[in-house]
Structure 1
Amino acid sequence: MLTEKCMNELLELAADLGKMLKNGGKIMCTAESCTGGLISGFITEISGSSEWFDRAFITYTNEAKKDMLGVSGATLAQFGAVSEQTVREMVKGAVSSSLGTVGVAVSGIAGPTGGTPDKPVGTVWMAWMYPDGIIEAECQHFAGDRQSVRLQTVKKAFEVLLDKMPKHMN
Structure 2
Amino acid sequence: MSATEILDRAKAKGWRIATAESCTGGMVAAALTDIPGSSAVFERGFVTYTNLAKQQMIGVRAETLAAHGAVSEEVAREMAEGALAHSDTHLAVSITGIAGPGGSEFKPEGRVCFGLAVTGRPTFTETREFGAIGRANVRAASRDHALTLLLGALRDE
Tell me the secondary structure at the aligned position of residue 116 of structure 1.
coil
Provide the TM-score with structure 1 as the length reference. Answer: 0.88
Cα distance between partner residues in 1 of 2:149 and 2:46? 20
Cα distance between partner residues in 2 of 1:26 and 1:133? 14
Aligned: 1:139 with 2:127? yes
Question: In the TM superposition, what is the alpha-carbon distance from 1:162 to its structure 2 partner?
Answer: 1.5
Q: Is the 8 A contact 2:10 2:154 kept in 1?
A: no
Cα distance between partner residues in 1 of 2:84 and 2:151? 18
Give the residue type in structure 2 aligned to 1:137. T
Cα distance between partner residues in 2 of 1:34 and 1:85? 16
Question: In the TM superposition, what is the alpha-carbon distance from 1:158 to its structure 2 partner?
Answer: 1.1
Provide the TM-score with structure 2 as the length reference. Answer: 0.95
Q: Which runs of 5+ in 2 are unaligned?
A: none
Q: Is the 8 A contact 2:130 2:138 kept in 1?
A: yes
Q: Which runs of 5+ in 1 are unaligned?
A: 1-11
Q: Which moved more, 1:130-139 or 1:49-58?
A: 130-139
Match in the other structure for 1:121? 109
Cα distance between partner residues in 1 of 2:136 and 2:65? 25
RMSD: 1.1
Question: In the TM superposition, what is the alpha-carbon distance from 1:160 to its structure 2 partner?
Answer: 2.0
Match in the other structure for 1:66? 55
Give the residue type in structure 2 aligned to 1:105. S
